[in-house]
Structure 1
Amino acid sequence: MAEYRIDDLARAAGTSVRNIRVYQDRDLLAPPARRGRTAIYGDGHLARLRLIRNMLDRGYAFAQIKEMIDAWTAGHSLADVLGLEEATGAAWSHERPAVVPMADLVRMFGTQLTPANLRRALELGVLERRGAQFVAPSPGLLEAGHELVRLDVPLAEALALAAELQTETDRITGLLIGLVRRYVLDPKGPDWLPSGEELPHYADVISRLHPLVMSALSAAVDRSARRVIPEIIGDRLVAMAERAAAEQG
């Protein structure tokens, strides 16, 4: 599970430290754990912050948000069915952030780990700074960049690709979730909220979204890779095969 100091949490949630303290004062956000004099937040806090921001953006007042959160965390509620934070997808992640010492980054990327490339990686969220350490929110994405560099792709180009991948996957994820919202939630009306009896059903709908996106994108990428790799480098593969056959003959 990821750990955040309050300034790191604010950056990850796209809000301010002041707002976090306001939400805590209004009992919208659970208190952090304490490690000595340091407040430590987790993935649950991040998910709750995103939920609060979403509700504020839709025009809900603090009192309304607290009332709904209190309702969700009591009785037959969304929190009981699958956990309030899990409903946003936090619990479905197959990866856990990993601390990456600077020595490991240098080993992976060598002289290409320039200040400009490191700054770009931080801007893209490929890396995050936690005090004197770096954290990879997605170790798999970092390793993919490492593998590209091992294949002699410039790190700057790999980072540009990471930005494009994020934009495209956000767009496609938005299309998938948008369909569910359009046909499952929006027909109920803009101010609709499920009753206590309806909560388990809609909690189940929400709980399916993250694995649905993961399955759809994974299957689509697999099909695309099988088709596109031969299309782009097939001529080189044929040429190499022909040369090998000629040398053997």
Structure 2
Amino acid sequence: MAEYRIDDLARAAGTSVRNVRVYQDRELLPPPSRRGRTAVYSDAHLSRLRLILSMLDRGYAFAQIKEMLDAWQAGHSLADVLGLEEAAGAAWSHEQPRVVSMAQLVRMFGTQVTPSTIRMALELGVLVRRGAQLVAPSMKLLEAGHELVKLDVPLAEALALAAELQSETDRITALLIGLVRRYVLDPKGADWLPSGEELPHFADVISRLHPLVMSAVGAAVDRSARRVIPEVLGDRLIALAERARERAE
């Protein structure tokens, strides 16, 4: 299970340290554990924090959120609630956002780092502004863009591709999760919510979704790359083979 300091927790959830403290003061977020003088947060805190942010985005007031969270916890044991939240949090915490400096971006992308490409990256979510800092939600995605630019693909084209990749991946992920919902959750009834006895199984289902998606999508991408790379570049490969044969004759 991952552990977070308060600034790491805020960054992973896409909020500020000040907001985290406000939610704690209003008893929406459980207190952290203590390791000496250091406050340590868990995946359960991250999941709860994301839930709070989602409810705020939907227009709920602090009092309404606390009432719902208190009612949820009153109907289940704390161990059950934390077990479910830790399962959900762990599924989200595979890659932590990282602050990237302008100097680092220039080292990666050179003169193609312009106000226009920075604005495009922010609009697409490849970069996120946190106060005066720029944060990359996925450094792997940023590094993939770096590799494309090193191959002389324009940065603007790489950014447009990132948006398309995210859209397609979201669609495929939704299809996979939709199958689980249709055959695992929906048969129990449209209004079904897990009881205390059912929560461990529900938490297990949630905890298995992220590795399932990663495994299925990763395998499909690997098969696709092996098939499509020769198809797209086949004419060049054939031309090279013919040239080599002609020189050998």
TM-score (norm 2): 0.77
Instruction: Say what the alpha-carbon RMSD is for the aligned residues.
Output: 3.5
Cα offset, 1:87, TM superposition: 1.5
Contact 2:87-2:204 within 8 A present in 1 as well: no
How far apart in 2 are the matches of 1:175 and 1:66?
A: 33
Partner of 1:166: 166
**Structure 2 residue 243 is matched with structure 1 residue 228:** no
Residue 79 of structure 1, aligned match among 82, 101, 104: 82
**Change in 2 beyond 3 A, CA 1:222/1:5:** closer
Contact 1:88-1:206 within 8 A present in 2 as well: no
Partner of 2:242: 242
Q: Deviations over 1:74-99 (max 9, x none)?
A: 14x1423xx61432444551x33333
Partner of 1:119: 119
**Change in 2 beyond 3 A, CA 1:92/1:208:** farther
Contact 1:44-1:85 within 8 A present in 2 as well: yes
> Which runs of 5 or more residues in structure 1 are unaligned?
34-39
Instruction: State the identity as a percent.
Output: 67
- 2:172 partner amino acid: I
How far apart in 2 are the matches of 1:43 and 1:115?
A: 36
Cα offset, 1:158, TM superposition: 0.6
Cα offset, 1:218, TM superposition: 0.3
- 1:224 partner amino acid: S
Contact 1:121-1:159 within 8 A present in 2 as well: yes
TM-score (norm 1): 0.77
Partner of 1:104: 104
**Change in 2 beyond 3 A, CA 1:111/1:55:** closer
How far apart in 2 are the matches of 1:23 and 1:180?
A: 33
Give the secondary-structure state (helix, strand or coil) at the position aligned to 1:236: helix
Alignment of 1:55-70 (within 5 A): 62=65, 63-69=67-73
Partner of 2:202: 202
- 2:231 partner amino acid: E
> Which runs of 5 or more residues in structure 2 are unaligned?
34-39
How far apart in 2 are the matches of 1:54 and 1:181?
A: 20
Contact 1:52-1:65 within 8 A present in 2 as well: no
Partner of 2:36: none
How far apart in 2 are the matches of 1:106 and 1:9?
A: 24
Contact 2:101-2:134 within 8 A present in 1 as well: yes
Partner of 1:176: 176
How far apart in 2 are the matches of 1:233 and 1:101?
A: 36
Cα offset, 1:169, TM superposition: 0.7
Contact 1:97-1:135 within 8 A present in 2 as well: yes
Partner of 1:145: 145
Cα offset, 1:235, TM superposition: 0.8
Aligned length: 234
Give the secondary-structure state (helix, strand or coil) at the position aligned to 1:134: strand
